[in-house]
Structure 1
Amino acid sequence: MSIIFMLIKHPLSMMIIIIIYTINICMMVGLINKTFWFSYILFLIMLGGMMILFMYMTNLISNKIIKFNFLMFIMFLLILMFMNMIFIYIYNDYYLNFYLNMNNKEMIKLNYNLLMNFELNMYINKIFMTNYNYISLMLISYLFINLIAIVKIINIKKGPLRIINN
């Protein structure tokens, strides 16, 4: 992935490569953790950073035309698919061999550990249970009010990137 990143010269193409790479990493992390919350937060943070970089790049670089190299694009997609296939093969093969080579005591111990892990995940899900709905709604409304206040505080005409002449 980094080899393709080194071959690209246009900053907007580099940002697209980083976003695709982030999506790929988020999918892999979500498959490993069995929950996609961490992946979702990681993707939102990276996408927010990319949006800020996109604003700076579109204002600072000239309007150069992006030269689209179809061969490079195909190579990038093939490398991405190959990495995903290897990851899925190794991940599934490891667990398949792990389960097939166990005896009865190890299976009971594994089931107990899985049950304890399930109970720990239930604590994470308690935030969204009916008893805690009011706290969740209060936090959501607080964040929304802060968003509105920040938008009202910022004066668009005195932005750092462009001078708007009216």
Structure 2
Amino acid sequence: MMTSMIFMMIKHPLSMMITLILYTMNICMIIGMINKTFWFSYILFLIMLGGMMILFMYMTNLTSNKILKFNLLKFMLIMVFLLMMYFTLLYLFNDMLIMYLNMNNKEMIISNMNIMKNIESSMHVNKIFNTNYNYISLLLMTYLFINLIAIVKIINIKSGPLRIKNN
């Protein structure tokens, strides 16, 4: 909530992008804690980060002459406040910590066994990669990697902006 309030006060596109990335990281961490597996939040973060990179390219072309005024003291105070608030909420709403504080040793052993069962049940993510399709998945990953390298090399050859100025 604080990052969305900070976003409303920011004027420069670069600092807006950094705020959006921090906000996305925060949401991905919360989704990962809720789902007990971080695969969905990892994919969400990668997609959002790719979108942020595209927006960053457009914004740097549009606002190349605007100077970013950065107040380090103000930034540090805001970050310390956000971290304190985040860890306070994490401590208050983490059921595992509250559960462990109110248990004796026998209940802890039973609880640890239940946690291990939950971890085993969440390990079904491995079913995504069926052994019959491992080679196809590896081929697709290699193809995407080669395309990524080719696009980077094409852009470096031009070494100019992606947007062409019409005089």
Structure 1 segment 12-161 matched on structure 2, within 5 A: 12-92=14-94, 94-98=95-99, 100=102, 115=117, 117-118=118-119, 120-128=121-129, 132-144=133-145, 147=147, 151=151, 161=163
For normalisation by structure 2, the TM-score amounts to: 0.68
Q: Please, what TM-score do these two structures have when normalized by structure 1?
A: 0.69
User: More displaced, 119-128 or 33-42?
Assistant: 119-128
CA pair 80-136 structure 1, distance change in 2 beyond 3 A: same
Coordinate RMSD, CA, aligned: 3.9
Provide structure 1 residue ranges, at least 5 long, that are not aligned to the other structure.
Answer: none
Map Cα deviations across residues 45-75 of structure 1 (whole Å, 9 max, x no partner). Answer: 1111111111111111241211112232023
Q: Separation in 2 of the partners of 1:141 and 1:60?
A: 34
Cα deviation for residue 31 of structure 1 reads 2.9
Tell me by how many angstroms 1:164 deviates: 9.1
Q: CA deviation at 1:97?
A: 3.7
Say if 1:11 and 1:57, in contact at 8 Å, map to a contact too: yes
Count the aligned residue pairs: 156
Equivalent residue for 1:10?
12
Residues 87-125 of structure 1: per-residue CA shift (max 9 Å, x gap): 321233x23444647xx9xx98x967973x445433311
Cα separation, partners in 2 of 1:87 and 1:125, compared to 1, 3 Å: farther
> CA separation of 1:98/1:9 partners in 2, compared to 1, >3 Å: closer, same or farther?
same
Q: Which structure 2 segments of 5+ residues have no match?
A: none
